[in-house]
Amino acid sequence: MVWNSATISQASKTDARLMTHVTQARACIEEWNDDPKQSDAFLDYQCHSICIALASIIPGLTVVHGCYCGLKQKWHKGKFVDLAWTAKDHSWLTTPNGNIIDPHPVGIIATEPLLVIGRGKNVAFGAGLYFKGHIQKRKYCNKKVAQQVKVLITFLESRRAK
């Protein structure tokens, strides 16, 4: 696991422990999905289902449903003209210290979950981009998500037992 020096200095031991558990669980899922022998048993998930599953099996994590905001470039005739806010429905986890663990980051090429600090001078560039609420319940409370959660919990519990 790689730690950003600005993050690690503001993360508690609890945050580090929870981040380690989430990272290990996500790695276990990805290892399974990358195994060609398991091609017929691919573990499908999205941010909503993986967050619900992880919070169900890792004490200390809380699921938050909302949106993640970012900047979108506006171009006209091949020239940059402006920036505009854009938002995407998203779910993430919070630690008891109010920091964010994002096991399935939006639009970021990341091989591991992100630990985002929820306070301090750089909050606008991290936790300030996550907004609680502003999401229709049907996005995360539906049959597909429920089935994914059930499969993920069963899989992760079976791996933990080994």
Ramachandran category for residue 78: left, alpha or beta (phi over 0 → left; psi -120 to 50 → alpha): left
User: Are the C-beta atoms of 55 and 47 separated by less than 8 Å?
Assistant: no
Rounded Cα distance, 114 and 108, in Å: 10
CB-based burial label for 102 (10 Å; 0-12, 13-18, 19+): buried
pLDDT tens digit at each of 162 positions of the chain: 666 666 777 888 999 999 999 999 999 998 888 888 876 778 888 899 999 999 999 999 999 999 988 888 888 999 988 888 888 889 999 999 999 999 998 766 666 898 888 877 777 778 888 989 877 777 777 899 999 999 999 999 998 766
Q: What is the pTM of this model?
A: 0.85
| Domain-located, residue 26 | yes
CB-based burial label for 84 (10 Å; 0-12, 13-18, 19+): exposed
Instruction: Fill in the amino acid letter for 20.
Output: T
The span from the first CA to the last CA of the chain, in angstroms, equals 22
| Domain-located, residue 100 | yes
Q: What is the pLDDT of residue 2?
A: 63
| Domain-located, residue 139 | yes
With CA atoms as reference, report the closest residue to 55 among 88, 2, 1, 102: 102
| Domain-located, residue 1 | no
Q: Residue 135 belongs to what domain range? A: 14-32+42-160
User: In total, how many domains does the chain have?
Assistant: 1
